[in-house]
A and B are shown apart, each in its own frame.
Chain A
Amino acid sequence: MSEISYGRHLAAERRPGVPGRRARLAGALTSPATRRLIILLLIAILWEVGARLQNNPIMLPSLSQTAAVLFDGETAADLLASSFASLAVLLKGYSIAIGCGLVLVSIAVANRFARDVLTTLTAMFNPLPAIALLPLAMLWFGIGEKSLVFVLSFSVLWPFAAAALAGFETVPETLRLVGRNYGYRGPAYVAQILIPAALPALLTGLRLGWAFAWRTLIAAELVFGVTARQGGLGWFIFQNRNELLTDRVFAGLAAVIVIGLLVDALVFRSIEAATVRRWGMQK
């Protein structure tokens, strides 16, 4: 009997492609998603324990308190409305910046002087945090959405333009020759060769622009909300701190993180998976 079970054990160990329970557990632990989850869990425990020890919800509310506030209907509704307000402004500024960026880059690709102008401007404005322009924007456009959109567009325009220009300049010579060889010229050449060949860089630029836009917007909103009835997420955080509703401040911060990650994962990663990764242009 013992011999038979021993044999069975061996057979189970040797069967290829069917790892044992211990191996499976180890495999699950080494998968990146699981490791991330474990790290998140550790942070959550640390936060909960730390907050309970500190025992002052105005300075540091615990995870459970924050979660409770998040799931009580009123805060959640406020958060949702604030998020939509932020995203609406963001979309406006982002699309203006991408539009301007594409126009600037098109001119720069066609003209050497324009290219020098653009590279100088991107080099100049890259070290300048767009938020530093907010006081000036308020002077020019007043306290309101216009100032936010201006600062936001500024934060997106330069990193996007730099990435896009680099993308167009590094289109392989062979591809350019192939396009011209088969009779593609002007707009058809740009649409059929240059844009798809530069797509990996364009997507990187869009993604970078999104990260800059989101940060800049939240920071700008901390100074003032949108003048309409509903302010954005930054304003939500600022207001709740003023009222010492620290749990709601934490809920606001969590929303900023979650939205930032979601857009990156759902929008940009899925676009990449459907295009440049599928075509083997990016690993």
Chain B
Amino acid sequence: MAGAVSGSPTVLEARGLTLDFPAAQGSLRAVDNVSFTIRQGERLVLLGPSGCGKSSILKAAAGFLSPSAGSIALRGRPITGPGPDRVVVFQEFDQLLPWKTVRDNVLFGLKRKPGLSTAEARDKADAAIERVGLARAASAYPHTLSGGMKQRVAIARALAAEPEILLMDEPFAALDALTRERLQEELVGLAETLGFTLLFVTHAIDEAILVGSRLHLLSAHPGRTVATFDVSAFGPGSWGSQDFEHVAGEVHRILFGGALRRSARPVLQEATYV
């Protein structure tokens, strides 16, 4: 566990979390007896193959699913439904409201916050838009933005709402490789500046190690905990380093049982020497 956060208060805690889905015959177990703790300022990544229930765990944290056994609690209070204290950034681009401009989309996330004046909300929204570098696009409609910009707006909207914990469900999976990399770096930068608490779901090992401070590995059908890793030492600068490769290989071996086949990641400067 990262030393910086080991003494911090617990934000989100799952204890023996079990999630079932109604299926044709009875019910289908998606997540089986998963436990984890996220402390303030920590970035926990749920990592696993498709079918490991990582998105279901995130949905339970958001309050869209209720556990069939075990518990999931935010700052000690059991989660009973969705609320703006746990904001989700989805993978889909259509998470932005197409009828609202970028600024109004961000304001949309602030409207239900009690005791916030219109002027304060506007300032918060503009600050969040500035943070993700979209100040110039503040009055644009979402359909005029690229995929990367749309996800930046979604992140700005989530940040402006100042949730207890940020929940991200493969937010960069629908982006091209270069944009994805840039957004991963930006996200880590924002996390280091703002110190927010993050639960991040992905099936990409590289992304998990870069973004997370701790990894929680899950097996598929049903989702069960297989291992946890402390990866707080790795940041955007460490991609390709020996330690990084070692951890990535180890994670791959645990999850898939074989040697890691490196994903084609564009390394432009090296390519020119070849």
Pair A181/B62 contact, Cβ less than 8 Å:
yes
- Residue B273 at the chain A interface, CB threshold 8 Å: no
Given contacts A192-B108, A280-B144, contact A181 B99 (CB under 8 A): no
Most B CB contacts (10 A, CB to CB) among A174, A178, A188, A275 go to: A178
Q: Is A199 an interface residue (CB 8 A)?
A: yes
A182-B87, A183-B82 are contacts. A174–B141 as well, Cβ < 8 Å? Answer: no
B37-69 interface with A by 8 A CB criterion:
62, 64
Contact of B149 with A by CB under 8 A:
no
Q: A180-B82, A183-B112 are in contact. Are A279 and B94 (CB under 8 A)?
A: no
Give Cα distance in the complex from A174 to B86, angstroms: 16
Interface 0/1 of A189-216, CB less than 8 Å to B: 0001100110100000000000000000
- Chain A residues touching B, range: 20 to 34
Given known pairs A174-B92, A278-B141, A280-B142, the reply for A181 and B98 (CB within 8 Å) is no
8 extra interchain contacts, Cβ-Cβ under 8 A, other than A178-B88, A181-B88, A278-B141?
Answer: A177-B90, A181-B62, A181-B87, A182-B112, A183-B84, A183-B112, A192-B108, A196-B99
Within 8 A of B (CB), among A167-184: 172, 174-175, 177-178, 180-184
CA–CA, A175 and B97, complex, Å = 7
> CA of A147 to CA of B84 in the docked complex: distance in angstroms?
52
A160 vs B43: C-alpha distance when bound (angstroms): 49
Contact B92 A280 (CB under 8 A): no
Cβ contact of A199, chosen from B84, B90, B99, B109, cutoff 8 A? B99
In the complex, what residues of B have CB within 8 A of residue A182's CB? 84, 87, 108-109, 111-112, 161
Rounded to whole angstroms, the CA-CA distance of A278 and B64 in the bound complex is: 32
Is the beta-carbon distance between B95 and A275 smaller than 8 angstroms? no
Task: Classify the secondary structure of A's interface with B.
Answer: helix
Within 8 A of B (CB), among A199-250: 199
Chain B residues with CB under 8 Å of A279's CB are: 98-99, 141, 143
Q: Taking the nearest CB of chain A, how far is it from the CB of B232, in angstroms? A: 28
Residue of B nearest to A195 (CB): B99
A-B contact pairs, 5 of them (CB 8 A): A177-B88, A181-B83, A181-B84, A279-B141, A280-B144
Known: A278-B141, A280-B141, A280-B142. A178 touches B95 (CB 8 A): yes
Give 9 closest A-B pairs by Cβ, nearest first: A280-B143, A183-B112, A180-B82, A183-B84, A174-B92, A196-B99, A279-B98, A279-B99, A174-B95
Question: Is the beta-carbon distance between B98 and A280 smaller than 8 angstroms?
Answer: yes
Q: Which residues of B contact A281 (CB under 8 A)?
A: 98-99, 143
B99 in contact with A275 (CB, 8 Å):
yes
Mark each residue of chain B from 108 to 128: 1 if its CB lies under 8 Å from any CB of chain A, else 0.
Answer: 110110000000000000000
CB-nearest residue of chain A to B113: A183
Cβ of B99: which chain A residues have Cβ within 8 Å of it?
A: 196, 199, 275, 279, 281
Q: How far is the CA of A174 from the CA of B90 in the complex (A)?
A: 8
Chain B residues near A184 (CB-CB < 8 A) = 112
B64 near A177: Cβ-Cβ < 8 Å:
yes
Mask of B156-172 contacts with A, CB within 8 angstroms, 1/0? 00000100000000000
Determine which of A175, A188, A193, A278 lies in contact with B94 in the assembled complex, contact meaning CB atoms within 8 Å: A175
Q: How far is the CB of A228 from chain B (nearest CB, A)?
A: 43
Q: In the complex, what residue of chain B is closest to A178 when comparing beta carbons?
A: B95
Contact residues in B for A278 (Cβ distance below 8 Å): 141
- Which A residues are CB-close (under 8 A) to B88? 177-178, 181
Which residues of B lie under 8 Å from residue A188 when comparing CB positions? 112
A202 CB to nearest chain B CB (Å) = 12
CA gap between A281 and B99 in the complex, in Å: 8
Q: How far is the CA of A197 from the CA of B97 in the complex (A)?
A: 8
B97 contact from A178, A180, A183, A275, Cβ within 8 A = A178
Q: Which residue of A lies closest to B114 (CB)?
A: A183
Closest-by-CB residue of A relative to B62 is A181
**Contacting residues, chain A, for B87 (C-beta < 8 A):** 181-182
Residue of A nearest to B112 (CB): A183
Query: Which of A193, A278, A280 has the most B CB atoms < 10 Å from its CB?
Result: A280
CA distance A280 to B142 in the complex (A): 8
B82 and A181: CB pair below 8 A?
yes
Distance in angstroms from B191 CB to nearest chain A CB is 20
CA distance A180 to B143 in the complex (A): 22
CB <8 Å contact, A183 and B83 = yes
Residues on A with beta carbons closer than 8 Å to the beta carbon of B161: 182
Name the B residues within 8 Å of A181 (CB-CB).
Answer: 62, 82-84, 86-88
Nearest A residue (CB) for B92:
A174
A180 touches B141 (CB 8 A): no
* Shortest beta-carbon distance from B97 to chain A in Å: 7
- Given the interface pairs A192-B108, A279-B141, A280-B143, the reply to whether A180 lies near B64 with Cβ below 8 Å is yes
A178 vs B112: C-alpha distance in the bound complex, in angstroms? 13
**Distance A199 CA – B111 CA, assembled complex (angstroms):** 22
Bound-complex Cα distance A192 to B82 (A): 17
The answer for the CA separation of A178 and B82 in the assembled complex, in Å, is: 10
